[in-house]
Structure 1
Amino acid sequence: MTEERKNAENLNPEGEEKRVSPEGGKLEELRELEELKKYVSTLEEKVKKLENLAKVSNERYISLQRELEFVRDRHRRELEEKTLYGIEKFAKDLLEVVDNFERALKHMEGMEGCGEALKGVEMIYSQLKRVLEKHGVVQIEVEKFDHSLCEAVGTVPTDEVEENTILEVVQKGYKLHDRVLRPAKVIVAVPKEEVT
């Protein structure tokens, strides 16, 4: 520090030299120290408040990220489901057309003189089945009764085959991908009751 600066610091506002008593200087230092402690304490409180605010904001951010991810996943699943199963009602309605083709083919097989017409109907029926398969509609193939795929419309007591063997398919069942579109209506074998 330069000599002039030292002298300027030792002057009071009137320009007179400050008289500092040894005790007065200590009191002044103690006051400054107390003020600094209060200031530091205030700053520490502000820091704690800001840290808490940052923590709450971070937790909120993480929560919103999770929520956004959940919404994205749900939207993706809904979109996939609509893509896979969006034709479900249409496909169910089309199954009635398939049933009618099968009835017509069965009826025409026994008739004479409709060989060419039968071939034409068979070709259209095959094309319809390919289109359905292309879009995930497939016939349910089961030999044993499975309540998730079949509907028992009748039973026949018999010992000739195992219990729950499907003896007759009354109406074919179909699935759209992995979802049952229409259960197969079947007649199922049940054990004969012993007469005593």
Structure 2
Amino acid sequence: MNADNPTPEMDSAAFGASTETAADPAQQLAALEARLVEMSDAYLRAKAEGENIRRRADEDSAKARKFAVEAFAEAMLPVLDSLEAAIARPDATPEQVLEGVHATRRQLVQALERNKVVEINPPAGHKFDPHQHQAISMVPADQEPNTVVMVLQKGFLIADRVLRPALVTVSAPK
């Protein structure tokens, strides 16, 4: 036998059919139809499972978006309580009010830090970073060019992403 000239027996053997089953095409057809039904069922089950996974992921994502602010809101409640307590004391002295404002600010800073909100407050002489700072003006200064001279408004990061850039004045080139 030559591999270039296969015989009919080699063809049927190559496809997994023996000469005995080749004699009964009705049995082959029935077996193939059963296999088709089985594969169709498996496909439909896999497709349904994929759709269920996608639907559950969409629901989880929607819940995460809806309740993402929950921890932050919970951290802000003590700050609100302190402000309401201050309003409830109209007879407080200016010193007491100032002390309460400082305490409330500390609460607010702690609540922000717990929620990964940190301030951007570069010291004078710090290199200007356009990703975290917004230059309002350039002024002549006795320091390196393109460095922060003064912070006009602090900026904030939330989990390493700029929430608000720091507003700064920058030293002009000499």
| TM-score range for the pair, normalised by the shorter chain length | 0.5 to 0.7
The reply to whether residue 176 of structure 1 matches residue 158 of structure 2 is: yes
5 Å-filtered alignment, 1:102-181, equals: 115-142=95-122, 143-158=126-141, 160-163=143-146, 165-181=147-163
Cα pair distance change 1:60/1:125, threshold 3 Å: same
Which one-letter code corresponds to 2:112 in the other structure? Answer: L
* TM-score normalized by the length of structure 1: 0.50
2:4 matched residue in structure 1: none
Any idea what SS the aligned residue of 2:50 has?
helix
Contact 1:159-1:191 within 8 A present in 2 as well: no
In 2, Cα distance between equivalents of 1:41 and 1:189: 90
Any idea what SS the aligned residue of 1:161 has?
coil
What's the C-alpha RMSD, in Å, of the aligned pairs? 3.7
In 1, Cα distance between equivalents of 2:153 and 2:164: 9
Contact 1:155-1:188 within 8 A present in 2 as well: yes
1:188 matched residue in structure 2: 170
* TM-score normalized by the length of structure 2: 0.55
Give the fraction of aligned pairs with identical amino acids, expressed as a percent: 27
* 1:116 Cα deviation from its structure 2 partner: 4.5
Any idea what SS the aligned residue of 1:145 has?
coil
Greater Cα radius of gyration, structure 1 or 2: 1
Unaligned runs of 5+ in 2: 1-20, 77-92
Q: Which moved more, 1:115-124 or 1:44-53?
A: 115-124
In 2, Cα distance between equivalents of 1:63 and 1:124: 55
The reply to whether residue 43 of structure 1 matches residue 37 of structure 2 is: no
* Equivalent residue pairs, number: 133
Contact 2:134-2:166 within 8 A present in 1 as well: yes
Which one-letter code corresponds to 1:54 in the other structure? Answer: E
Contact 2:141-2:149 within 8 A present in 1 as well: no
In 2, Cα distance between equivalents of 1:53 and 1:146: 64
